[in-house]
Amino acid sequence: MEVFIVPVIFGLIVAIALAASVSTRRYEVQWKAAADRLQLGYQPGRMFSRPKISGAAGDLAVTIDVSSSSGGTSSSGRTRYRVGYPPLGLDLRMSRKTGLAKAAARFGMSDTNTGDAEFDGAFSITTSDPQRFSARLSPASRRVLLNLVEDYRSVKIADEQMSYESNGIDRDAGTVMTTAQRLMEAARALQGSSAQSGRPTPAPSVPVREAMPPPPPVLRPDPFGTWPLLDPPRPPVQPESKPGETAPALSDPVPSDITAGDIAGALFTKRGLSFQVAKQFEERYRGRTIDWSGEVREVIGGIGPNEPTRVTVLIATVRHELFGSVDVEAIASIAGRATRGLAQGQQISLRGTLTGIDAMARRLFVEDARLSSGRATPPSTRR
């Protein structure tokens, strides 16, 4: 009997090692894609180690790795994100304010108070120089930090580093990139004036299929343009008619002469933070009617009969001065049954109104869209 025990134990060890290796390889491809787009170094995993992303982004030192909860190469673990920056000289410690800390504050046991009720209510803060800490944060910087702690509740902010651990291993390139970008943008915001300079946050434009629900209207201020700036679609207004007259028919809006290549070149080829790109869009392009063509990348039908279909269309490819060749997409909200038969890879022409932008993902949002049978601008490539 003992003769068989040793081979069985050895076989189990080998099987566990192989299973762990396969599990690691599945997300290594995603991590490598994320590292490439973030322009960071990538270290593949070995038999007894996990993959790692690290490198410099301007004056920020970025590290993404896996902290295993049980050691070895088991499938359990947490993705650890760390963004280092030059010391602030404030002996700073910040984290989300817990219920216990809020209760203690009611009895006078409070931490550093910046004078901003919303900010003080969200963070537990200790610093050696509260006045200088408050002075270095603009309202926009405070907002980006508030949004960060709301979305990444376990984030820790120190004098030289910002860190976050996800609940499990992030196996999707888009998730890894978005988390790293949010921390990098928050680190620059924490640096005060330095938040307006440095390398812009790259966009998650790797070929990863993700669920993409219709983007809701922004319900909170977002000065750094992290999320799409959308308003609810407005129904068309029927022209008035005099008594006894037939109301004039609604006419299609006349498309502007802005091409997909023009707007992609203006917004997505130069260095700039996402809030700067969003501001440029709001000032120059929001509300303009477009008539573009491109390649269908994804079609997501509405949940109910009255819900529009969201069609993602590749409208242009441009060359960014930092990231090289990047794709620009339009996400069109199309009502009715006109989208029946649309398939990935199909060339279509669409007409609608520009209503929003996701600067980080290089996406433009088009509402009240319809498939156009008229002449449209072909897909543009600027290299």
Q: For a pLDDT cut of 90, what percent of the chain falls above it? A: 32
pLDDT at 1 over 70: no
Residue 353 banded pLDDT, cuts 50, 70, 90: very high
CB atoms within 10 A of CB 27: 21
- Range with top average pLDDT, 48-52, 201-205, 263-267, 360-364: 263-267
Tokens coding 117: 């009720």
Written in H, E and C, the secondary structure of 166-219 is CCCCCCCHHHHHHHHHHHHHHHHHHCHHHHHCCCCCCCCCCCCCCCCCCCCCCC
- How much is the pTM? 0.49
The average confidence (pLDDT) of the chain is 76
Q: What is the Cα–Cα distance from 211 to 134, expressed in whole angstroms? A: 39
The whole-number average pLDDT for the span 71-92 is 81
Provide the strand spans (E) within the chain: 41-43, 52-57, 60-67, 78-84, 93-96, 123-126, 156-158, 161-165, 289-300, 309-320, 324-334, 347-358, 363-371, 380-381
Which has the closest alpha carbon to 144: 181, 199, 106, 102?
181
Residue 264 banded pLDDT, cuts 50, 70, 90: very high
Q: What is the Cα–Cα distance from 218 to 227, expressed in whole angstroms? A: 8
The whole-number average pLDDT for the span 356-368 is 88
Q: For a pLDDT cut of 70, what percent of the chain falls above it? A: 66
pLDDT at 208 over 60: no
Residue 363 per-residue DSSP state: E
- What element of type H or E holds 234? none
Query: Residue written as tokens 């390398």?
Result: 199
pLDDT of residue 360: 80
5 vs 52, which has greater pLDDT? 52
260-381 CATH, one of 1.10.3470, 3.30.450, 2.60.40, 2.40.50: 2.40.50
The whole-number average pLDDT for the span 27-38 is 88
Strand-pair partners of 320: 324
Q: pLDDT tens across 84-124, in order?
A: 999 999 999 999 988 776 666 555 556 778 888 899 889 99
pLDDT at 136 over 80: yes
pLDDT of residue 219: 41
Q: What is the Cα–Cα distance from 299 to 312, expressed in whole angstroms? A: 6
Q: What is the Cα–Cα distance from 308 to 367, expressed in whole angstroms? A: 10
The whole-number average pLDDT for the span 140-146 is 91
The whole-number average pLDDT for the span 225-247 is 46
**How wide is the angle at C-alpha 312 spanned by C-alphas 307 and 315, nearest 5°?**
140
**Dihedral pair phi/psi, residue 350, rounded to 5°:** -140, 155
The whole-number average pLDDT for the span 259-271 is 89
Q: pLDDT tens across 317-351, in order?
A: 999 887 788 899 999 988 766 667 788 899 999 89
Q: pLDDT tens across 277-301, in order?
A: 888 898 899 999 999 999 999 888 7
Residue 310 banded pLDDT, cuts 50, 70, 90: confident
Weakest mean pLDDT among 97-101, 110-114, 140-144, 211-215: 211-215
Which amino acid is present at 366? V
Q: pLDDT tens across 175-206, in order?
A: 899 999 999 999 999 887 444 333 334 444 44
Where are the domains positioned within the chain?
A: 18-86+160-206, 260-381
